[in-house]
A and B are shown apart, each in its own frame.
Chain A
């Protein structure tokens, strides 16, 4: 593999699943004709069939290790090698219970493989780049030129600047055009939060605290942490504002635009309450909207307040995607924001009303185009960084978002899937996440180590960066910055001829 200019801190290491079994795509059925001869165990190189030493029966097939129908062209395939034709292969009904239209089972499986190996899957039977939603990113494809300029992978840069205002504030550059979304202390477990920050440091990019305070355990990663000021102002102190390079105002969240947050009393444990400077056990409401902001002028006052407190930090403004998102973006630019972060309606959340997730505000694909074009028309596009989030699931989504006009993206769900989230959606119910990712339950929050999680994230970021570099090479580009707004490099299944 040709090395590109990724940070020297990035080290790829295989980091297998913490579970004994993976979710199988295929199912091998062994009929009564089996004579336990053990031929299948000898022939299968993937370890689907086993006959342990001294046993005279073959174990039931380990389905998840099977590579499926593509194996049938190989001479070692168990189906053809079995002398009694006792084996058959089918799709596993279990696979249908994994994933959904947006995050298909193939996409989840593919992301797991990336987090394990650091590279995109070698298997050819997984459609892991595109989902099954039937719209937006899932209808866009790349148009690669036949004879692109020759570019060596080592020459390709994936870095972007986040401060484009030339205002004397910190010249922040991230090495890959992706950073981690805000997930608050309390909404995810501590190993999740710390590994996100650690990985951000390894990749020379950022992660975000979400609304819920700045745990001291994140201090080693201060230069890679964005601290969030949201409507409840929970955990916001002068000291936390001064500690970081980027401060993010969260006006709204794509998954629940126009609605406030609500931390249930039982989740407001002693440590959470301390962090949020609230009373333990009380339900905490984050109102909507900021009760101090009803106009762009008020908004400017907000930004000035932060800039006064921290004279070098950049200010990011996170908004969701209403009809007038373009106006809001231009207003934020004039108010002094460095980063306009738009969060689309199909984005992730630890808890949101289903009715909001499905129906309120537009998908990110439209909003990027709208905002990019409006900022361009206003002559402001080169002076702000446009970051897209809310439905960026794969490296292909990232590239498509940049082609539509974003400079980079924020991801959340993809990070959690790397930590083996199955998107069951029970982050907030009962004891919380049964897989230990989004739970503060004493038993569940201890299901994996920070080391394991950090490496899984680093691997996944690497796989994305690897895909990004490959795509840039196919376009003959030396920098991801050349890609911004290049809709001519995309085609749409319905409209393009």
Chain B
């Protein structure tokens, strides 16, 4: 059994204002009787410090929407509404509640737990149109959640053999390919905006602390960051191999930008890298239409790992700027690529990394059930630091003012906390499924329940 993998959370508040869901206002007909102070158990209502005869403005930050002040105010003087910030930030994909829950997880590193049942829509697009299975009565695993049995979230990056070869004497001819072990199926992707030095350093340190890697353009890897090279995946074009030889030398993984000419040159490129370094190569491809063919060709050309990148909302990328482009969603792209490789009997040979729109912990195991080996994330790590993302009128990612002055330790810990919460949530889902190894999740569609299939099978049949 491998050594138990732990991420250590530590409550780390960030002293800045973030989103609030509610806004309470006190009307002019308030008679300062103080009833609201008595009934609110969250201390949203207090008297003014400078003039205790009067009530202070409600402290909306702590409001948990219990309605007691609203319902018990003798004058009906309190009004509540959704905070305008909360309404404005909700997009087509990135919902206001995601920002709030990621912010909270970054603070305490805990699995979000609430009372009352699920509140959301019955189903949705992409990953929201699938449920994960669980095992009841007859189940293989006992208790991974409370630590009495080990659930491994570790994955391997690299090429695998389809089968073993032996000589006529029965001796093994196959040499295993080099692989890199990562204890959590999450890489940190290239930051989507420019980061101040403290945030950049924190991102790398957080990756290092949880034993994963961060993908960074080689040009951004300043000399002082080279000590962390075991946890950095330099991203280069194929023509930059020699230019960055010094960085590649000690890297465990290297990411190369895809070009249409790449599959034919892949053998030569791998050879050039091999002369410098032992790094396993990841080819980074945008999730464009026809991606299945590209991936298949790369596998057949000897690729070791392929990183398929959808846009920030988990959608297919409109490479040719087609009018009326109807993007596929990442869930469907993963399933389609996985199935093609299964049909061609080459799926086991390659490691597939998927990213784009990974917004919540559930997206990690769900993308693996669809056929991925692991994921890469970017925006949630910045939301942990107070970033805001607006989708309309066009994508706008804003980092909070003053972030460049926050100590590296605090920023690092918030990213670590977020990953701790995600890791625990992945364990919850795996524990329920009775799956003890994250590697087993890959393509296990039998342990997923897809809305379009079950709805058709149940209601489609009944009401046709």
Contacts and interface: CB of A to CB of B under 8 A. Distances in A.
Nearest to B114: A425
B463 A492 contact: yes
Interface string B127-154: 0000111111111001101101000000
Given A60-B75, A291-B142, A94 B70 contact: yes
A444 B143 CA distance: 35
B342 interface: no
Contact of A349 (B101, B117, B425, B451): B117
Interface string A257-297: 11110000000000000000000000001011101011110
A259 B431 contact: yes
Interface stretch (B78-86, B169-177, B291-299): B78-86
Interface string A282-314: 000101110101111011000000000000000
Contact of B64 (A22, A136, A434): A434
B463 A490 contact: yes
B35 to A, nearest CB: 9
Contacts of B22: 97
Nearest to B129: A135
Contact of B462 (A320, A361, A390, A492): A492
B122 A257 contact: no
A355 B112 contact: yes
Contacts of B135: 258, 289, 322
A403 to B, nearest CB: 10
A325 B136 CA distance: 8
Contacts of B92: none
B459 A356 contact: no
B241 interface: no
Contacts of B446: 323
B162 interface: no
A265 B115 CA distance: 17
B117 A359 contact: no
Contact of A423 (B29, B116, B366): B116
Interface in A52-86: 59-60, 62-63
Contact of B139 (A294, A351, A495): A294
Interface string A401-427: 000000000000100000001111111
B79 A94 contact: yes
Nearest to B425: A355
B121 A427 contact: no
Nearest to A357: B118
B134 A322 contact: yes
B407 interface: no
Contacts of B366: 359
B460 A360 contact: no
A108 B328 CA distance: 37
A251 interface: yes
Contact of A391 (B65, B117, B131): B117
A100 B120 contact: yes
B118 A422 contact: no
A260 B145 contact: yes
A479 interface: no
A102 B361 contact: no
Contacts of A294: 137-139
Given A359-B132, A359-B362, A97 B81 contact: yes
Interface stretch (A236-244, A340-348, A461-469): A340-348
A323 B111 contact: no
Given A258-B434, A496-B463, A328 B116 contact: no
Nearest to B432: A258
Interface string B245-270: 00000000000000000000000000
Given A355-B428, A444-B41, A322 B66 contact: no
A366 B81 contact: no
B243 interface: no
**Residue among A97, A421, A444 with the most chain B CB within 10 A?**
A97
Contacts of A376: none
Given A97-B81, A355-B429, A350 B101 contact: no
Given A102-B119, A423-B116, A426-B64, A20 B134 contact: no
B91 interface: no
B221 interface: no
Interface in A420-438: 421-431, 433-435, 438
A295 B137 CA distance: 6
Given A134-B121, A348-B116, A422 B111 contact: no
A289 B460 CA distance: 34
B431 A258 contact: yes
A289 B74 CA distance: 50
A259 B143 CA distance: 9
B114 A289 contact: no
B32 interface: no
Interface in A107-139: 133-136, 138-139
Contacts of B115: 349-352, 425-429, 433, 438
A323 B447 CA distance: 8
Contacts of A363: 122, 131
Given A22-B71, A93-B81, A487-B462, A289 B120 contact: no
B151 to A, nearest CB: 12
A423 B119 contact: yes
Nearest to B148: A287
17 contacts: A19-B72, A21-B70, A93-B81, A138-B122, A258-B136, A295-B137, A296-B137, A346-B117, A354-B101, A360-B429, A391-B117, A426-B66, A427-B114, A427-B115, A430-B42, A492-B462, A494-B459
Given A23-B70, A356-B429, A491-B463, 20 more contacts: A60-B29, A93-B80, A103-B119, A258-B433, A288-B145, A288-B431, A295-B138, A320-B136, A322-B133, A328-B137, A348-B117, A351-B115, A353-B425, A353-B428, A421-B116, A427-B115, A434-B39, A434-B68, A438-B115, A496-B463
